[in-house]
């Protein structure tokens, strides 16, 4: 059994937190975001180190995860709103690699425009354990994890977390 199959089975049987009880961690728990490199579905390479200076929302998701599907349009909306260089949203699928084409089609059908790719074993090890989906990391422009949320994030809460990120970093515009 591949590690992805084991991971998928473990996530399926793991009790995900209720929607109203998404858990957060603070920088004292996860002080810096581990560097990673992934390929997007468009074939572009994304390196966290090259995004230094920009806040990043890193979301781990799967096609079979209903809360993940519900969150995708919200993530897309914040990327579009702050797509002027003030924020980067990256979605990494934890689906099996052999269903890569299904994941691409799923993302295309949803119409999301933020950067999407497949989470590789190294990224999962660095950011794990990821036992609930979605799991979303909010990384400031200095590369520090300021928040880790396990579970669905409603649009209003997502907006407040994103505003925290974009207004606290070097790209902050002050009045926004």
Domain 3-9+23-168 sits in CATH at: 3.40.30.10
Higher-confidence residue of 4 and 13: namely 4
Domain coordinates of the chain in residue numbers? 3-9+23-168
Q: What is the pLDDT of residue 30?
A: 43
Environment class of 67 (CB within 10 Å of its CB; exposed 0-12, middle 13-18, buried 19+): middle
Q: What is the pLDDT of residue 20?
A: 34
93-127 per-position pLDDT tens digit: 999 876 667 888 888 888 898 999 999 999 999 99
Q: What is the pLDDT of residue 2?
A: 54
52-90 per-position pLDDT tens digit: 999 999 999 999 999 999 999 999 999 999 988 899 999
pTM, full prediction: 0.80
């Amino acid at each position: 059994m591949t590690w992805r199959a084991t991971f998928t089975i473990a996530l399926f049987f793991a009790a995900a937190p209720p929607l109203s009880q998404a858990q957060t961690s603070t920088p004292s728990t996860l002080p810096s975001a581990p560097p990673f490199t992934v390929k997007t579905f468009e074939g572009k390479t994304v390196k966290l180190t090259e995004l230094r200076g920009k806040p990043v929302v890193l979301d781990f998701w799967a096609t079979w995860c209903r809360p993940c599907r519900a969150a995708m349009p919200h993530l897309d909306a914040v990327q579009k709103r702050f797509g002027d260089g003030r924020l980067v949203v990256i979605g990494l699928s934890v689906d099996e690699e052999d269903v890569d084409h299904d994941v691409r089609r799923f993302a295309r059908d949803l119409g999301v425009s933020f950067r999407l790719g497949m989470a590789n074993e190294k990224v999962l090890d660095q950011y794990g354990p990821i036992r609930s989906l979605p799991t979303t990391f909010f990384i400031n422009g200095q590369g520090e994890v300021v928040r880790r949320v396990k579970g669905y994030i409603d649009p209003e809460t997502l907006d407040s977390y994103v505003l925290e990120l974009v207004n606290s970093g070097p790209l902050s515009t002050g009045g926004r």
